[in-house]
A and B are shown apart, each in its own frame.
Chain A
Amino acid sequence: MATTTYTSDQPTVPRVSSRWARIRRLPWPLVVGGFLLLIYVIIAITGGLWAPYPYDKIAAGKPFESPSVEHLFGTDQMGRDMFSRVVLGTPIVLFLALTSTLLAVTLGGLLGLLSGFVGGWFDGAMMRIFEVFISIPVIVFALLVITAAGLRLSGNFFVLIGVVALVYLPRTGRMTRAVTLDLVTRDYITVARARGESAWSIVRRELLPNATGVLLVEFGVRAGYAPILIGSLGFLGFGVQPPTPEWGLMISENRVALTAAPYTVLAPAIALSGLVISLNLFTDGVARVFGRQVRL
């Protein structure tokens, strides 16, 4: 299907140097998604300064109080202020999602580039390993890693980041390798080889810059799914442990009171879905800038 590619030198657009015009020329998902993400980041950074209560302050109000001026999203079973918990959960969710995705895309991307470039038995072995890991459904694989790490550690941030990164690494690796196979046929790679550059140097200086767009989009797609995976694990009881205000965990904690106090579930659910929507929109925008179609 036809995709409009947005490049800096589109002839039809008159040269207007005002900043507004430049923003308007960007694809709308990038602008909307970027704006929403910015709000999330601002809340994550500054939330600690203005959140009305600490996240674990029990009996800030009566249990299951309805939303009011004092408790914007009401209170949960223990009378904790839901607004504060949602706000103070933002940096946790963002941190977990972004670090795990960054780890996976960095390692997976490097292995994929190397595998596609080196080829031969190394490539064959890498691909087999990746495929085996991809053959286990995501949530089952995550549960296996948690079992292997030991349940006692399941709330540990490092374990959680490791779990999500391990889930994505082979998927990112395989995707990058496919792109690399296409790149290595290009002339500039042949030239670099002829110059006698080392494999590592070619990967770093020729392949990596040219795969940046793909890796960025890959990062966005994965980052968009990471909060869902982390939330699902929290929901199942294997993610972040109470009383940490992780949104998936909050949904699971307050589900018992769904009819009596629906806002205690709605607030974290909307925060979580909103974050995923903004990440998906932003990624879609980035993909359009790079002239690629992204399958969300």
Chain B
Amino acid sequence: MILRVLLTRIVTAFLTLLAVSVIIFAAVDVLPGDIAARVIGRHATEEMKENYRKMRGLDRPVYERYGHWLLGAVQGDFGDSLVNDYRVTDIVWPKLKNTLFLAAYAFVIYIPLATILGSLGAVFREGPIDTGVSLATLIGLSIPEFVMGTFLLVVFALKLNAFPVLSVINMAEGFWDALRLMTLPAVTLAIAMAVYAIRMLRDNLIEVLDSEYIRMAILKGLPLHKVVLRHGLPNALIPSLNVTALNLAYLIGGVVVVEKVFAFPGIGTLLVDAVFHRDAPVIEAAALIISAVYIFANLIADLLTILLNPRLRTT
């Protein structure tokens, strides 16, 4: 029974990705009009455009082009860049690795940040600490990532000189240097994720702390920190897990703007630059990969929720 639920969900994810690939192909390859005229520029003659279309296979019908593109994409081949004739895969892969590294780093900062602040808010609820945390998360919610990143940049890179201004990690010397270069963008992303999670965790933990078994534990004479750590948090974390997985999905989208703030050579910067240069194959590849990561992060969130919540298993 549960296996069927899980399987359905997995199949749905793949079908969704397939539909997303249609949208991406339509938005990038079909709707904007004549690629040949765009690439060759204003001096294009009919003959040049015709030759270019033949060379790129643009003279074939749309569905054939889509099929060709999709088949290639599945095998990791996204064609050649329109700007510099490199293979798109060779351009995208190193950037994707950088982004995943950045995302992992941001996630490692995010977990303790959200857990500690969320718990503090719940344990000292209605007190000055809770009010402070609430206010901070409200402000955090209202400051766009690119503004937050810019502020961190001013304070930590320009005034304190603690971190570099540009996160050009290609030039990093070794692992620790790379970490130092990535700290500011990672912190920006971690804060953006944490504000949601802190509010969720606080509410969930308050609900748990009000329950009978917690009161029992307190009456037994267990010290407060043990009650929270051993009985409170584990029970409050399960509902928050979904938020965390959704945050993981957010992370992969939010990375686009934050990377641009710090000139970080990741897939987000690549996508933005490709849109600027109208480099269709690179836009398609970057958009498809980001969406795929997003869809699978959501899939993992759902699977975990189903597995961890017995009540959901039957639905």
Contact = CB atoms under 8 A, between A and B. Distances in A.
Given A138-B253, A144-B24, A148-B31, A238 B291 contact: no
A296 B253 contact: no
A262 B250 CA distance: 30
B206 A273 contact: no
Contacts of B138: 277, 280-281, 296
A68 interface: no
B145 interface: yes
A135 B256 contact: no
Contact of A258 (B32, B154, B276): B154
Contact of B207 (A1, A131, A235): A1
Interface in B254-283: 254, 256-257, 260, 271-272, 275-276, 278, 283
B139 A258 contact: no
A235 B143 contact: no
A120 interface: no
The secondary structure that dominates the A interface is helix
A191 interface: no
Contacts of B143: 269, 273, 276
Contacts of A49: none
Given A144-B24, A147-B27, A236-B272, A272 B144 contact: yes
B23 A144 contact: yes
Contacts of A148: 26-28, 31-32
A273 B139 contact: yes
B291 A137 contact: yes
A269 B254 contact: no
Contacts of B294: 135-137
B150 A269 contact: yes
A144 B287 contact: yes
Contacts of B151: 269
Given A136-B287, A140-B287, 9 more contacts: A128-B19, A137-B250, A137-B254, A140-B253, A144-B23, A149-B32, A231-B144, A231-B146, A232-B257
Interface of A: 1, 128, 131-133, 135-140, 143-151, 224, 228, 231-232, 235-238, 248, 251-252, 255, 258-259, 262, 265, 269, 272-274, 276-277, 280-281, 295-296
9 contacts: A135-B17, A140-B271, A140-B291, A143-B283, A148-B27, A273-B147, A280-B141, A280-B142, A281-B138
